[in-house]
Structure 1
Amino acid sequence: MTRQRQLIYNIIQRADDHPTAEMIYARAKAEMPSIAFGTVYRNLKLMVDAGEILHIPVAGEPDRYDKTLRPHEHMQCIECGRVADCDPGDLKSYFSSKIGEEIVSYTLNLFYICNECRQKRKREK
């Protein structure tokens, strides 16, 4: 593994905010000023393809990356765009039992208002 790829991987492993490629690039550049955005982007794709990290498409926002490989979902705050982990249980089995067919895969978009944005709304009222 190259130094650049190891750095990018470590940044994602330390992140709790499901960073975008741009966020990862900024953090990598702070530690390795010579790194290029193209290097970050290429390595993210390689790591996703290798199953080392997850790629999270986000509606209306830049895609995010996740260190958590176990099955789980994501939800996005409609106010600030924050992406958080969500574990709604075994939805494949649930829907399979309801419709009587095997669910192979699914896409679930959950949108919410995070605690910080709710508090901000209360203060602004």
Structure 2
Amino acid sequence: MHMDFKVAETFLSLNVADMDRAVRFYSRVLGAATTWTSPHWSSLNVAGVRIGLFANPGHEGGRVGLHFVVSELGAACASVTDAGGIIVSAASEVAPGVVVAEASDTEGNVFSLQEARGKLRI
């Protein structure tokens, strides 16, 4: 198979019901840098990864398969709730030294927060 092109970038996209609220959440909780914003689409950067937010007024949320490895899980969970999100499942050790909690943003998108102690990440 021969490819006549190169993939320039890979990014993730999340549906959001309220663009301004979602941008505020990710900026406040994860320190996202906003690189583009409009009422219909916003591009954020979190730890070198672009996350696109797509306005979908009927969006009801759900699990999105997004994971963030953080240095302090307790502080990250507190930041989620302070910014209007919820902790869906409390922190639990899923492997020796790996602690995971599930959280929901203000739009109902469920993601994982992971604290890996030492070098182990899953």
TM bin (shorter chain): under 0.3
Give the number of the structure whose residues are more often strand, by fraction. Answer: 2
Q: TM-score by structure 1 length?
A: 0.24
Larger Rg: 1
